[in-house]
Every structure is written in C-alpha cells, then in structure tokens.
DNA sequence: CATGAATGAGGGTTCATTCAT
DNA sequence: CATGAATGAACCCTCATTCAT
C-alpha cells in the first residue's frame, strides 16, 4: 500500500467513490431513500448501475457511507470552532452561520433521511453484522455534534452569560431544534433562504430564550 | 340518505374506513410511505388487502385521507381554543399541551411523512385530477394550524405582552419549530416523553425568546 | 310449474335474465370478453354485480347464453325465409338484407367474440362439463346458418342459375365471407353503414362471382 | 454506432427483441391480448418476465411493435410485387398466393387482434403520447396494404380487364374481404388449409365477380 | 331475490442485485 | 474495472366470485 502505484490507485478509487456519494446526496435529498433509484444515482455519477457495486456493497452501504461523510463534515467543522474564547453570542453565531451557510443543503439531507430511515437503521439493527463499522462512525459523529451544542451552553453558563433555569441538556436540545426548524422550513419551501438573515433572527430569539446577559 | 337504513349503512362504512385509517396511521408512521405495504395495513385493520379498495381508490388516496384526517383533528382542536381571553402564556400553554399530549403521536406521523412525501404530493402535482378535493382539504388544514400560531403571537403583541423586534410571522415560525423540534426528538427517541414537562420547558424558553412581559 | 303463480314468476325471471343479456350484448360488443367487467354489465342492466349470479352461474355462462340467443335469432329468421320460391337473386337479396339490416349489430357481436374467445370455448373444452347444453345449442345454430347458405347455393344450381365450377360448399363459404367482410368493415369503421346500399353492392359482385345467369 | 463493437451489440439486441416478438406472436395469436400473460411470452422467448422490460416498455408496446412488424412484412412484400406488368389475373394470383402462403399465420394474428384490441388502440387514443411513433408506423402499413389492393383494381380497369360497375374502392374492399374471409375460416378451423387451392378458388370467384375479360 | 362487502388469485411493473463479457 | 443484460422478489391493483344480511 506504500508504493506509489498502490497509492495512486487508491486515490483514484476514493475519488470515484466520492463522486458516487456526491450523486447519492443529490438523489437521496430529492427523493428520499426508497424513491431514490440506483439508476438515478449511477446516472448522476456518470457510472452504470452495476458499477456502483464495485464501490459499495449495497444500497444501504451507500446511504450509510453518505450519512457518515456528511455528518462528519459537520462535526469536523464544529470541532474547529473555538468555544472557550470570545463572547458566546459570537460562538453561537459562528455555529449557526456555519451550519446554515455551509452545510445547509447537506444537513438538510440528513434531516430528511433520519426521519424515515435512520431510525430503522440505527435501531432495528437490520444492518448490524453488515455495517457495524459505519454505524459506529455515525454514532460518533452524532455525539460530536450534540456535544458541541452542549459545550456552547455550558461555557455560556460558566461565564455567567445565561442564568436560565433550564438544564444545559434542555437548552442544547432547543438549540438543535431551532436549527433543525430552520432547515426543515427550507426543505418544505424547497429553497435555502438567506443564511445570514436566518442566523440573525434565530440569534435574537435564542439570546432571549436562553436568558443571555443583556449586553448586546 | 335520510332513511335509517342508509344512515346505519353509511355509519358502518365510515367506521370501517376509519379503522383502515387507524391501521394506516400505525404502518405509515413506522415505515414511511414507500415501505408501508398495503398488506400490512390490511392486516392491522383486520381486512384483506383487496378490501381496502372498497374504501380508498389507491394507496395515495389512503395516505392523503389519513393526512387530512389527522391534520384536521389538530386544526379542529386548535380552533376551539380561546385566543382572545386569558393570558397569552395560558393560551400558548394550552396549545402546546394539547398538541403534545393529545396529538403527539398523530402529529408525529404528519411530521414524518411530510418530510419525504408530502412535498412531492403537494408540489409535484402528480396527484392532481385524482385527489383534488383531498388536496384542497389538506391545504385548508395546513393553513388553519399556521393561522392559529400567527393569531397567538399577534394577540400577544396587541396586548403588549411581547415587544420582540421579530415579526409575527417569524415568531409564529419559531413557535412551530419548537413544537416540531419536540415531536421530532420524540420520534428519534422512539418514545413520547412527558408532555407536561415538555410543555413547561418550551414555555420557559418561549416566554423569554418572545420577550414576554416579566410577570410570570 | 303449471300454476299461475309459478308461471308469473318464471316470466318475470326470464324477463330479467333477458335484460341482463341485453346489457351483456352492449358491453361485450364494445369491449370484448375480457375487457367486459361484470360491473359494467350489471350497471347497464340495472342490477348489482352480485345479482347477476342469480341468473347465470358465471361469466362464461352469460357469454355463452348470449351467443346462443343471438345466433338463434339469426337462424330463426333465416329459416323463415322461403328458399324454394322466387329468383335466387331475390333469395340472396332477402338473406343479405335481413342479416345486414336486422342483425347487423348483433351479428357483429358474434363476429367479434368468436374471434378470440369462441374458439377457445368451442375447442379447448375448458367449459365442457359446465355448459354442455349451451354448447350443443350454439353448435346447432351455427349449423343452421351455414346450412341456409348452402341451401341457397344448391337451389340456385338446381334451377340452373349458376354454373360455377366451384362446389356448393365453397360458394356458400364465399357468401359467408362476403357477409362477414361487410360486418367486419363496419366494426372496424365503428359504424353500421347503409344496409341497402351494401346489399346492392354485394349482390352485384356475388351474382357475377357465382356465375348467375345473366338475366338481371 | 459506427464502430464494430456497437454494431455487434445492436445486432444482438435486435435479435433478442425479435425473439421476443416471435414468442409474442405465438402467445397473442393463441390467447388474444388480455389472456396472453407476459410470463408465457417470456417463457416462449427463453427470458424471464422482467427481462422483457429491457426491450419493450410495457405490454402495449410489445403488442404494437409486433403488429407493426407483421403488417410491415406484409406491406413490404406487397410493394415488391410488380403491378404494371403481366395479366392482372397474374397479379392478383401473386398477391393472394403471397398472403395466403407466406403470411397466412401472421396475418391471421393481425386479423385476430384487430378485432378486439386494435380498434381500441387505434381510436381510443389511450396510448397516444406513449406510442406515437409506433402508431404512425402502423397506420402507414395499413395504408400501404389497402393501397396495393386499390392499385390492383385500378390497373385492371385501366387495361380494360374489368368493366365492373362497382367503384375501385368497393372492389378493393371486396378483395380484402375475400382474403380476410379465408384467413378467418382458417382461424376458426384452427388449421391453415391449402394455400394454392384456396388461391385458385378465390381467383375463380374474383375474376367473375370483377367482370374480368373472359380470356382465362 | 337483491346487494354491499370481502377476498383469493393473478397480472403488470419496478428495482436491487448478480453475472458474463 | 465497467457495463449491458438477466432475474427474483415484491408490490400495487383488478376482478370474478362468494357470503351475510
């Protein structure tokens, strides 16, 4: 695997696998899991349907791999945001802004899918034994995102910026709800909306809801 | 249609049609539109698959009829809530409480389905010509629910109970988001949670977020 | 069966059975055997689908009974036409005229149906054991019609009105072909055409084709 | 499409599509459109039912394609028959002989099907939008066959070989009727009969019926 | 006798998956 | 590795037939 030849081959292979996921993202987002036909994905990726099986063992694997990739992208970016420094309004603003502007579309995919399929996938265990590693990765990403929200709230409380009677967990949950709410609305409307303006509105509401110190 | 015989027959028929929708509610909620097999619904309703067609012309009709029924149930109850009287905290509390406790499960169905199917149904127009009346009814119910939220906010502002800089529409949207957020979480967790406690938490957050007068 | 009560009941029953066949004639003619739904026939007859089974054991029985009735009507009328008297041109003309004008529509039904179903019915024997009597009746009617054509030709030859080298059977066959040809064309065109004019044309052709003495 | 690879592939594909039509010809001829099950056709062609859909979009497309192919075969052969040269008895003989001997079986298929299905297909327009090109091709073939009959008659009249008072159209119609009559009888009997003998008989009758000059 | 309702059997169609080239 | 082609397994839907009222 260390020799140049192997490296090149792996690189090309990964690139192609990525192209397939890009296509899958489009199709899954538009049609949902079941209505998404492999032929659509293949066409969007520039492959034949049969070729997909050179990269993913089956449709579930494609869906899961995509979910992992997209969630990890969000988690990675969130992790890089500094939480200990700056106002917490700034932190939350950065978080909202990032999610809305950069990952809006992708996150929306996860939102959509999680609804009707993720739960089956994550709980019904129909996939266990086939996709254990991917499930593990996905859970990890879920945890990271939630953890980020929790840290945001906890830090705010540490710094005395919120005196809300609600627990950190509950507040973190509301934060997530607001974000999902916006993405949900976008999906219903079929268009992404103005990320900046949306960020501002949510911020206004959040600061009040979370009992932020009235400095802003 | 006025004679007792006809009335009895229609009543029985409607009751059976209702049983089928009850079964459909379960199956659609669990599996989503595409994974829901008519055989499952028939079995859950105590009918044979073919019998369903005595009551609904096709799968789409069943889904739409169910959506209409559930949404109208919500809309009907919301309409009966007094909005002009009492504190607005009380009004919102009543709204939240009603939705969470009474319609949690059903609303969750609509939430689930809307995600990946409703949009197609409502926009792609694949169904127009076959289900126009049902679509009309559904839109009407959608409107009523949204309108209720808007009225809640508007009345609060009229009475000077909120001075939020955000527009009524935006605040009504956030209210909807919070509600959907809770239901969404319940769905993800697979259990309904404590409606009273959830109502209280949301209320705390909402009142602050909406800049309610600090009397409570 | 002799008492007035029984007679009245049987009369009513037969009348209803006839109504059903009338309806079946319409529907079978328009749609053919398979596309004809019992529900259509029932509706056209003013009964419910289930009621048909009080008069005919199954769909095949309805079809067969109808075929028998229609064919016998033709056969009965043909039998009443005098063959021994008058010119044979007159006889043929009377035959053509009768078939075209009076039984055009009904005969067309038989033509249509015989094509794709009669053969199965008459040969495949799927129906034997269930419908033996009806099959017997139908065959008898077939025979009568063919026999009439043969007699027409034979008498013509006896009287020296034709010296065709072709056998009576062949000529009778051609006569039948010409008739079916006209009815077939009517069916293809979807309209009945002018019976008188059609009779005249066929006559002109037939007389020549059959080597009629050149008196007319 | 010009390179050998593509050509070979297209050839193989067309050959398979042809096999399917061959199988369809058998099954449709025996059972008619509705009774013909795709499974039968698939079995007769050596494919699985689902595979048929690689070649034809649905059952209607298979039926229409078959009709087009068969009718075009007839039309193509008829077009190659010289009409301007030789006696018209020879021309008609050639036409009859060709149709009876070579296309008897296939034409019989069209005869059969046209009766109860073609009319729906050609008129009810249920298929328009899906199969426009095929319908166009089919109409064209219909026209060619009829035109050939008309030309036969017209040329005969030009050469003074017939003085029939009947119009060319009517005579061409009768010619068609006689041909269909023979094929119809064959179908009813379930066997093809002797083409040569049948040709002779029809010829004898036709020549007289059409007032051919008494040279033969 | 009439009928609304129920259903088994069966057909057309779709699609993820496999395989030979 | 890529792909056209093949297919089994479902699923939706139809309809003749049966049954209880």
D51/D13 Cα distance (integer angstroms): 12
The C1' atom of E1 and the CA atom of C51 lie apart, in whole Å, by 8
Is any Cβ of chain D less than 8 angstroms from the Cβ of C214? no
| Bridge partners of residue A212, in order along the sequence | A162
Our CA-based measurement puts residue B181 at a distance from the nearest CA of chain A, in whole angstroms, of 5
Per-residue pLDDT of chain C (216 residues; tens, 9 = 90+): 678 878 988 899 999 999 999 999 989 888 878 889 999 999 999 999 999 999 999 999 999 899 889 888 888 888 888 877 788 888 888 898 888 876 666 766 766 554 444 555 455 456 666 788 888 888 888 888 889 999 999 998 898 888 888 999 988 988 888 888 887 777 666 677 788 898 999 898 888 887 776 544
- Which residues lie below 8 Å from residue B87, measured CB to CB, with a gap of 6+? B161
CB B161 within 8 A of CB B171: no
Nearest to A160 by CA among A213, A204, A205: A213
Query: What CA–CA distance (Å, rounded) separates C198 from D177?
Result: 13
Q: B184 or D111, which is more confident?
A: B184
| Arithmetic mean of pLDDT, D74-85 | 85
- The Cα–Cα gap between A186 and D36 comes to 50
Cα distance between residue D23 and residue D44, in whole Å: 5
- Distant-in-sequence, close-in-space partners of C15: CB < 8 Å, separation ≥ 6: none
| Residue B134, both tokens | 């049902």
C contact chains, 3+ CB pairs < 8 A: D
- Nearest nucleotide to the CA of A34, by C1', is E15
Q: Do residue C180 and residue D177 have CB atoms under 8 angstroms apart?
A: yes
Please say whether the beta carbons of C22 and C43 come within 8 A.
no
Instruction: Please give the C-alpha separations between residue C166 and each of C169, C210, D201, D207, in angstroms, as whole numbers.
Output: 8, 9, 7, 13
Structure tokens at A40: 């659509």
CB C134 within 8 A of CB C186: no
State residue A116's pLDDT score. 40
For residue C49, give the nucleotide whose C1' atom is nearest its CA.
E3
Residue B114 CA to residue A33 CA, distance in Å, equals 14
C174 near D CB under 8 A: yes
Task: Identify the closest residue of chain C to D167 by CA–CA distance.
Answer: C201
Taking only the tens of pLDDT, chain A with its 216 residues reads 678 878 998 899 999 999 999 999 999 888 878 889 999 999 999 999 999 999 999 999 999 899 889 888 888 888 888 887 788 888 888 898 888 876 666 766 665 554 444 555 555 456 666 788 888 888 888 888 889 999 999 998 898 888 888 999 988 988 888 888 888 777 766 677 788 898 999 888 888 887 766 544
Model pLDDT, residue A108: 60
pTM for the predicted model, two decimal places: 0.85
Distance from CA of A210 to the nearest CA of B (A): 7
Which bases of chain E are under 7 A from a protein CB atom?
1-20
Predicted pLDDT at D50: 96
Beta strand ranges found along chain B (DSSP E): none
Q: Do residues C152 and C95 make contact, with C-beta atoms less than 8 angstroms apart?
A: yes
Among A67-76, C80-89, D62-71, D165-174, the range scoring the smallest mean pLDDT is C80-89
Q: Cβ separation of A114 and B188 shorter than 8 Å?
A: yes
Q: Which of B39, B106, B122 has its CA nearest to residue B66?
A: B106
Q: Is D173 on the interface with C (CB under 8 A)?
A: yes
**According to the model, what pLDDT value does residue A162 have?**
86
Are C183 and C107 contacting, i.e. CB atoms less than 8 angstroms apart?
yes
Distance CA A180, CA B104 (A): 18
Contacts with D115 from chain C: Cβ below 8 Å:
32, 111-112, 115-116, 187
The answer to whether B23 faces chain A, any CB pair under 8 Å, is no
CB D84 within 8 A of CB D155: yes
* Domains of chain B: residue spans and CATH: 1-56 (1.10.10.60), 58-208 (1.10.357.10)
The alpha-carbon gap from B172 to the nearest alpha carbon of chain A, in Å, equals: 12
Determine contact: A200 vs chain B, CB below 8 A: no
CA/C1' separation B55–F13 (Å): 14
Over residues B133-158, the pLDDT tens digits come to 888 888 888 888 889 999 999 998 89
**CB-based contact (8 Å) between D201 and chain C?**
yes
- Per-residue pLDDT tens for B53-73? 999 999 999 998 998 898 888
Q: From residues 83-122 of C, which are strand F contacts by CB within 7 A?
A: none
Q: Which of B210, B207, B170, B169 is nearest to A199 (CA)?
A: B170
User: Whole-angstrom Cα distance, residue B56 to residue C2?
Assistant: 50
* D74 or A62, higher pLDDT: A62
Give mean pLDDT, residues D79-83.
85
Closest nucleotide to the alpha carbon of D49, via C1': F7
Q: Is the CB of C208 under 7 A from strand F?
A: no
Alpha carbons A210 and B209: distance in angstroms, whole number: 7
Whether the CB of C60 is less than 7 Å away from nucleic strand F comes out as yes
Nucleotide of closest approach to A48 (CA, C1'): F3
Are B155 and B172 in contact by the 8 Å Cβ rule? The answer is: no
Chains in touch with A (≥3 Cβ pairs < 8 A): B
User: Residue C188: its pLDDT value, please?
Assistant: 67
A169: closest chain B residue by CA: B201
Q: What is the pLDDT of residue C82?
A: 83
pLDDT tens for B6-20 read 888 889 999 999 999
Separation of D3 CA and E20 C1' (Å): 22
Query: Is a pLDDT exceeding 90 seen at residue B44?
Result: yes
Asked whether the predicted pLDDT for residue D126 surpasses 60, the reply is yes
**DSSP-assigned letters across all residues of A71-136:** HHHHHHHHHHS--SSS-HHHHHHHHHHIIIIIHHHHHHHHHHHIIIIIHIIIII-TTTTTSHHHHH
Tell if the CB–CB gap between D115 and C119 is shorter than 8 Å: no
With a cut of 50, say whether residue D77 has pLDDT above it.
yes
Query: Integer distance in angstroms from the first to the last C-alpha of chain A?
Result: 55
Is the confidence at residue B23, as pLDDT, over 90? yes
Question: Is the confidence at residue B104, as pLDDT, over 80?
Answer: no
Average pLDDT over residues B78-91: 84
Which range, A126-130, B112-116, C212-216, D15-19, has the best average confidence (pLDDT)?
A: D15-19
How many whole angstroms separate alpha carbon C159 and alpha carbon B123?
80
pLDDT greater at residue B160 or residue D113 = B160
> Which residue is the nearest neighbor of E2, CA to C1'?
C51
- Whether residue C143 lies within 8 A of chain D, CB to CB, comes out as no
| Chain segment C155-193, per-residue pLDDT in tens | 988 988 888 889 999 889 888 888 888 877 776 666 777
Question: Residue D93 has which token pair?
Answer: 């003989």
In this structure, are residues B27 and B36 in contact, taking their beta carbons and an 8 Å threshold? yes
On whether any CB of chain C is under 8 Å from the CB of D190, the answer is: yes
Chain-chain contact of A187 with B115 (C-beta, under 8 angstroms): yes
Q: Residue B116's pLDDT is what?
A: 40
């Amino acid at each position: 695997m260390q020799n140049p030849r192997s490296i090149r081959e792996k690189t090309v292979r990964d690139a192609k696998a990525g192209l397939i996921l890009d296509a899958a993202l489009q199709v899954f987002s538009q049609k949902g899991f079941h209505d998404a036909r492999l032929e659509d994905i293949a066409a969007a990726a520039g492959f034949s349907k049969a070729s997909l099986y050179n990269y993913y063992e089956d449709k579930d694997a494609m869906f899961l791999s995509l979910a992992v990739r997209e969630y990890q992208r969000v988690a990675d970016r969130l992790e890089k945001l500094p939480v200990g420094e700056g106002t917490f309004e700034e932190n939350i603003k950065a978080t909202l802004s990032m999610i809305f502007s950069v990952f809006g579309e992708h996150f929306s995919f996860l939102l959509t899918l999680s609804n009707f399929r993720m739960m089956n996938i994550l709980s019904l265990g129909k996939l266990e034994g086939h996709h254990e590693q991917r499930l593990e990765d996905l859970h990890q990403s879920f945890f990271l995102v939630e953890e980020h929200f929790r840290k945001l709230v906890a830090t705010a409380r540490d710094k005395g910026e919120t005196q809300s009677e609600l627990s950190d967990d509950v507040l973190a949950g509301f934060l997530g709800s607001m974000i999902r709410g916006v993405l949900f609305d976008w999906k219903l409307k079929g268009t992404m909306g103005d990320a900046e303006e949306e960020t501002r509105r949510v911020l206004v509401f959040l600061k009040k809801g979370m009992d932020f110190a009235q400095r802003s």
